[in-house]
Structure 1
């Protein structure tokens, strides 16, 4: 039975014409600085993409090292982008291994923090620290309309996975403002698009800034009522959440910021806004489990627009929550759901299905890279001025192995990254070494991140 103090995870604060989702609360659970630019004169954009459930371990790694490598079967959709990617082998998120941490959750929530999460079946979640994307977001927060954007395909998971004793809240976020504050993701293409671009779509009925009237002012009565029914910890968490929204609203409503952002909406961007807006209008999500290719690509179109217009320079995207069991029967040769198939027990048919599912994810990743590569920035492209990571928190879903993680980084980091290579590092090299290099590439002078031991100078120009 639901207790008086318990509220639904889908609870919204509502007011006249406005609604905002709540952060994770206890009551929801049961028990442009030039030195930062590359040599292109444009800012370096960062995208971190997560795929659940690992990969076929024998079909992922390319043959050959350095620039003399052959694309592997799984990475075949990226063959035409070979010179634009780095395939990185033998990286490991060391803190994803600790006593009682078998399974997916300890290898997902800390993908971008590289710290040990706190094992809990409750809501006292802790990722161990701030995620690398949020360090970058904080660095650029005064240069863009949004410090960061968090996107995905699945809503937040709740409850407890009794098989491993972890709360499913760890399944839903890879972006952490701090150790105890995950950033929830937007999963609806229409809401994601309108939040960024609604006033700038040519022919739109209103050109008024959608944030001109404070969302918080509209929902404050509801917030006060909710607060009276929360415990002290939840009250503090709600206050912190509302204040963070207020801070973003102040930034968005600053006329200088709006004018600066408006100046970046070029005629070419407006054309793309019209196309994407129309595509979203035509898109209908009928029910869960259908072909999500169109939805994924709509989200990627929005991400490309956000980076192109400099609405934000940092984006995370989750193809699915940890332990995702999305049904991929819409793919030829696949009959079943992702997590179930990932426990293939070395059965040839299941392993083939497993690889086909991974290849679909890689195809979508390639779609985004192609999109960024098609956008000119000076004499280069948006992909030249970006770093786009594709990763899973484990190697093989059948063994839950966090060693030799499947990682690809697309883009050239503003000319600072030596792409077009397959690199195999020393066994169990900290994943945090990649993030240390990443921070330095975007212009953040930081010698160490989490458990890093050095920067990966092999990838840096």
Structure 2
């Protein structure tokens, strides 16, 4: 390995383990092979983060527009990064409306969130939706990375059953769709996701490496240590620090994964440290592990496209850790109750805090002339506005990152109410290099971002 043959496609390898590398200064086009010199030195990423049951809109929507707007009570939680995101008001998801199908707004809000389509009302096998923006983009540009896309979340996906007024659970628990009848189940197990990101080149190698790691209680980094040491010697000092920080992050995530289960003791009294099974019970720890690995996946260019569902549609999860003992869905039908609206606002602030953790992590990763977040465009929001009204216009939408300089961040932008959310998606697809002149119910490209 030498700097003349070093590119961002380089992997540290050993014992069936492959660890991708972060963006480094030596990966600039002038340092790559001629065959790789045409690659974009800093790739652009896109992500979509969904929260259920809408938002308490008075605490969400800023009063003023432009860059001098005052942060609302909910969005104020991101004040340390206010120059890294835009709040977008007025965007609409027409596909989530009833259109004669009656109840089922929660299921429709998820099914339409990334597709812009109106899902067929059925709880049988004849589901019909549209392709989602992440998959439409991945089908065109996903071959540039190890994983065309990652579909993640904190609650399991279902592919059958009746989940909302006659709508299949496939609609309520999946927002990523490879095709009209093909929902993409999400991964919720941090341990399984870690194994996917740091797997070998074959299933056999991956299983062998995992077995050895468990037997000898080793880190994935122990198997690639020789490769890492050789690389470290030939890097300039600034990249040596980047490599050290990245490898520390990998080991830290792995350490925290290992603590997600209680310590087991074998018959001989010797502690056993198996790979974690299941997910952490605490939502804080679960979400942070997933956000850390999303950061690692994007940092190493393992993928450029991520979708993430905090919970499934109509989730009735309670949040006792933050003083909310009632179910989220039940509270969203607040009937203008001041108590219920305050509880909803509390949940909203909790979710935005979880997203803020990701924003903080991505902002801390230096890349090119900016950060990992600077080279991304990350949507956060819901397919419902006010949970009591079940309306799908003027949605709570936040766009983080500035797409490598293509977005002027730090503003509240108000669009004409009724503007299709898919206008934004179409613009994002084109920035990613996907060829498209229409998506979902788009009627043009979003403006005011540059």
Tell me by how many angstroms 1:165 deviates: 1.4
Displacement after TM superposition at 1:34 (Å): 8.8
Measure how far apart 1:432 and its partner are.
Answer: 0.7
What root-mean-square deviation, in Å, do the aligned CA atoms of Structure 1 and Structure 2 show?
Answer: 2.5
**1:282 and 2:259 are equivalent in the alignment:** yes
Which residue, out of 426, 443, 447, partners 1:453?
443
Question: Matched residues in 2 for 1:114 and 1:173: separation?
Answer: 14
Q: Distance in 2 between matches of 1:449 and 1:282?
A: 43
Note the residue ranges of structure 1 that are not aligned, 5 or more in a row.
1-31, 199-207, 216-262
TM-score by length of 1: 0.75
CA distance in 1, matches of 2:247, 2:138: 26
Structure 2 match to 1:403: 393
For 1:12-91, list aligned pairs within 5 A: 41-91=41-91
CA deviation digits over 1:252-310, x for unaligned, max 9?
A: xxxxxxxxxxx999443222110000011112499999540110010000000000000
Partner Cα distance (1:68, 1:33) in 2: 43
Q: Tell me, yes or no, if the aligned pair for 2:280 and 2:286 is still in contact at 8 Å.
A: no
- Asked whether the 8 Å contact 1:36–1:443 carries over to 2, the reply is no
Which is worse superposed, 291-300 or 150-159? Answer: 150-159
**Displacement of 1:444 after TM fit?**
2.5
- 1:344 Cα deviation after fit: 1.2
C-alpha contact 1:101 1:119 (8 A) present in aligned 2: no
1:193 paired residue number:
194
- In the TM superposition, 1:314-353 aligns within 5 A as 314-332=305-323, 334-353=324-343
The aligned counterpart of 1:107 is 109
Task: Give the secondary-structure state (helix, strand or coil) at the position aligned to 1:409.
Answer: strand
CA contact (8 A) 1:436 1:455 kept: yes
- Quickly say closer, same or farther: Cα 1:304–1:289, change in 2 above 3 A: closer
- Does 2:169 match 1:168? yes
Residues 34 and 175 from structure 1, CA distance in 2 versus in 1: closer, same or farther, beyond 3 angstroms? farther
- For residues 352 and 87 of structure 1, what CA distance do their matches in structure 2 show? 21
- Which of 211, 233, 238 is residue 203 of structure 2 equivalent to? 211
Alignment of 1:388 with 2:389, yes or no, is no
Q: Is the 8 A contact 1:105 1:170 kept in 2?
A: yes
Per-residue deviation at 1:48? 0.4
Retained in 2: the 8 A contact 1:49–1:391?
yes
Partner of 2:210: none
- When residues 389 and 33 of structure 1 are mapped into structure 2, their CA distance, relative to the original with a 3 A threshold, is farther
8 Å contact kept, 1:59–1:72: yes
SS state at 1:58 partner: helix
User: Using a 3 Å threshold, how does the CA distance of structure 1 residues 325 and 458 change in structure 2: closer, same or farther?
Assistant: same
Alignment correspondent of 1:258? none
Instruction: Say yes or no: does 1:124 pair with 2:126.
Output: yes
Task: Check conservation: 1:430, 1:453, Cα contact below 8 A.
Answer: yes
Report deviation, 1:346.
1.1
